[in-house]
Amino acid sequence: MILVALFIIGAVFSGGALFGYSKRPAIEKVYTLFNKEIQKPAQVDFSPFWEAWNRVESKYVDNDELDTQKMVWGAIQGMVASLDDPYSVFFPPEENELFQSSIRGDFEGVGMEIGIRNNILTVIAPLKDTPAFRAGIKAGDKILEIDGKSTVDITIDKAVRLIRGKKGTKVVLTILREGEEESREISIIRDVIQIPVLDTEQKSSGKLGEKHGDIFVIKLYNFSEKSPLAFRSALQEMINSDCNKLILDLRNNAGGYLEAATDIASWFLPSGKIVAREQFGNGDERLYRSRGYNIFKNLPFVIIVNEGSASASEILAGALQEYGIATLVGEKTFGKGSVQELFSITNDTALKLTVAKWLTPNGKSISKEGLTPDVVVEMTKEDIEQGRDPQMEKAIEILSKL
């Protein structure tokens, strides 16, 4: 009888403990789920989340096929999506590998930068000599469908996953071009993407006595790790050519590393001058300053931009415009002035989160306004079809008077 009584007491105690454990606060259940210590959010009621989790586990029709780890990734993705920020994304293992490969530059796809503009998936810029460029994709094209799938409410990274693929395979984009009423389908064959850095050429201002051209043109395609050294070599080429005027073509340059933009700006600004301001959510600012190479004095200088000029392009162009170093010609820029930081969540997952905003040296928000050129020159459909470049022509015209 004593043994039976002890057994009953033990069973009641264990049952009570289990019942109490099952009724513990929802946030503690989340701790157990991740099996690691995390900071408890203040004043957050997790009970709705855990109630939904329990309902799925107990009531879902294909309960035996549930992947609880996938459910966790989905929950995090939903949380990040609630920020309503197209540049903040959680990467589960497979997506994280794709993202890391794009950072390394060893990826296959069509070769274009995309973003969200007015809640519509939009081409920021096709990269030179890539499948997208050769297929006729233009900056500003609105992507309505990818292989017949609507892009309404799509995230950038999901769109990237759909567009990228193995070399030799095809993707069909349904796009709507500005100024056109009907959408069109463009088929693109994917390939290995080789991202160019820059090109150079010489042009003449048309002044008498100029035999070989007095204007040096640098077409910069991106702000990669290789860009500062390539830009330095281009400037040396300019000096050796005896050109005394410069055009920096940033059209369809979707950006890249801030450090590259800061280094390039340093060739034209004294040491210590602010190139960009990084403003965080708590109001703190981090200043990025010129390294003061500053080898040019009173250089006649024009920068050409368009709606495909984004991020680091806007930082560089905005700084040199505000200091009066260069005249901006072209169309209003894309307006991508946010800063993302990549956090490792687990060994094979990551969170890309917007942590700050870019401001010009004078404190202008790039994200809200983009950059408006000093001289606005639009590129029309007829210009493109006829092979005309009124923006370059205007840049040369401005320099010819200096």
- Residue 402 to residue 255: CA distance in whole angstroms: 29
φ, ψ at 282 (rounded to 5°): -85, 5
Annotated catalytic residue 311: yes
Q: Compute the distance between CA of residue 131 and CA of residue 387 in angstroms, rounded to an integer.
A: 20
**Which of these is catalytic: 311, 314, 331, 357?**
311
Q: In angstroms, rounded to a whole number, what is the distance separating the alpha carbons of residues 104 and 123?
A: 22
| N- to C-terminal Cα separation, the chain | 109
Is residue 210 within 8 Å of 128, Cβ to Cβ?
no
Give the whole-angstrom CA distance, residue 64 versus residue 68.
11
Q: What token pair was written down for 233?
A: 């070599």
| Token digits of residue 112 | 């274009």
- Catalytic residue chosen out of the listed positions 210, 259, 322, 369: 322
Across the strands, what pairs with 353? 341
Q: Please check whether residue 291 is in contact with residue 271, taking contact to mean a CB–CB distance below 8 angstroms.
A: yes
322 in catalytic set: yes
Indicate which residue of 138, 203, 273, 336 is catalytic.
336
Residue written as tokens 């290789």?
Answer: 226
Please state, in angstroms and rounded to a whole number, the distance separating the CA atoms of residues 216 and 246.
5
Distance CA 19, CA 16 (A): 5
Q: Would residue 341 show up in a list of annotated catalytic residues for this protein?
A: no
Please identify every residue annotated as catalytic: 311, 322, 336
